[in-house]
């Protein structure tokens, strides 16, 4: 029986979007070959927007450390998933997150090479994520309970990354400001894949646990963790920026960037929580996926990756 139907029975009264069955020709989630050239990317790749650049840096330099832990958690869950369709989605998700990690690592190395010390901070975040969200060497019932708890927490985090992914795809301000095209492609490609696999962790959690109490508790915790992570990470990179700052204070830049749509509103971590906490919620109820799939089909980095794969001898 399909996994959507399995938890659809648990959640009486859910919408048709949450219970739609998968068909044989359902879109398959898979890792894509991509190729980014960061050599000419400037330190402030959103021109004139120092703070906004570093907020975007958090999205693609710091958050992937959490995604790495998420992929490890999903890999642990795979042997427990008997539904073939869900197992396929989980495998595709893990593959995409591995590609995210390698692509963002290359961007991080470039920024490090031009003077922004991000490696020190990212290593610290990686260490903290492993200590807090690793498997802790548990066994038996405790191991399974901790796995379900982590899946609930990651499902809550994925809700926010999917919403931010939609925002990245739909925001025209980056082009208007002349954002570096390589970094624009990087964040939009990543955002599009976040939209594409937005349901996977949630579906895995519902398949293996499905407790509303756990879903609600871990969603609140995810929101409480992500907002401080953005604030602390942005502050670190802003202070370590080697380029002399303009006369505007960071607070002025933050308010201005938010009002002009250069960065997503920080209130997203509060305003999105009620939607996720609705008993009938399912990630498929977010915005349509068409724009994400169109972008993934035409992303410059993905086109280069496809062409290199298609060459004879590759």
- What pTM did the predictor assign? 0.87
| pLDDT for res 308 | 60
**Quick one: which of 257, 266, 169, 255 has its CA closest to 223?**
266
Residue 241 to residue 115: CA distance in whole angstroms = 8
Are 285 and 17 spatial neighbours (Cβ–Cβ below 8 Å)? yes
- Which stretches of the chain score pLDDT less than 50? 1-25, 314
**Quick one: which of 139, 156, 142 has its CA closest to 70?**
156
Residue 12 to residue 216: CA distance in whole angstroms = 17
CA distances for 153 relative to 103, 134, 136, 159, 232, angstroms? 25, 13, 16, 10, 20
Structure confidence by residue, pLDDT tens digits, 249-258: 889 999 999 9
CB count in 10 Å sphere of residue 124: 12
Are 309 and 186 spatial neighbours (Cβ–Cβ below 8 Å)? no
CA distances for 310 relative to 132, 243, 301, angstroms? 42, 41, 14
| pLDDT for res 11 | 39
| pLDDT for res 19 | 42
**Quick one: which of 212, 260, 291 has its CA closest to 11?**
212
Residue 63 to residue 239: CA distance in whole angstroms = 19
- DSSP conformational letter for 58: I
| pLDDT for res 100 | 81
- Name the CA radius of gyration of the chain, rounded: 20
| pLDDT for res 311 | 53
| pLDDT for res 25 | 47
Residue 103 to residue 314: CA distance in whole angstroms = 20
**Quick one: which of 111, 115, 107, 221 has its CA closest to 159?**
221
């Amino acid at each position: 029986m399909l996994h959507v139907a399995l938890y659809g029975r648990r959640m009486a009264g859910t919408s048709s979007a949450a219970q739609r069955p998968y068909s044989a020709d359902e879109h398959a989630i898979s890792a894509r070959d991509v190729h980014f050239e960061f050599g000419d990317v400037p330190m402030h790749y959103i021109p004139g927007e120092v703070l906004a650049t570093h907020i975007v840096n958090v999205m693609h330099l710091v958050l992937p450390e959490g995604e790495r832990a998420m992929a490890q958690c999903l890999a642990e869950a795979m042997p427990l998933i008997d539904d073939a369709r869900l197992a396929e989605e989980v495998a595709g998700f893990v593959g995409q997150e591995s590609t995210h990690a390698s692509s963002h690592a290359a961007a991080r190395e470039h920024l490090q090479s031009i003077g922004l010390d991000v490696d020190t901070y990212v290593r610290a975040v990686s260490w903290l994520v492993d200590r807090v969200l690793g498997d802790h060497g548990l066994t038996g019932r405790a191991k399974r309970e901790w796995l379900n708890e982590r899946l609930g927490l990651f499902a809550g985090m994925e809700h926010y990354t999917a919403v931010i992914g939609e925002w990245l795809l739909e925001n025209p301000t980056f082009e208007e400001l002349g954002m570096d095209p390589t970094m624009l492609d990087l964040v939009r490609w990543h955002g599009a894949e976040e939209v594409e696999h937005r349901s996977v962790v949630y579906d895995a959690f519902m398949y293996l646990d499905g407790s509303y109490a756990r879903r609600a508790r871990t969603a609140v915790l995810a929101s409480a963790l992500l907002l401080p992570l953005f604030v602390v990470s942005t502050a670190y990179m802003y202070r370590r920026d080697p380029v002399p700052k303009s006369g505007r204070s960071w607070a002025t830049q933050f308010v201005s960037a938010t009002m002009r749509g250069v960065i997503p509103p920080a209130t997203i971590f509060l305003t999105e929580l009620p939607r996720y906490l609705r008993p009938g919620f399912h990630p498929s109820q977010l915005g349509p996926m068409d724009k994400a799939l169109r972008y993934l089909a035409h992303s410059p980095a993905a086109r280069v990756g496809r062409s290199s794969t298609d060459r004879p001898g590759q």
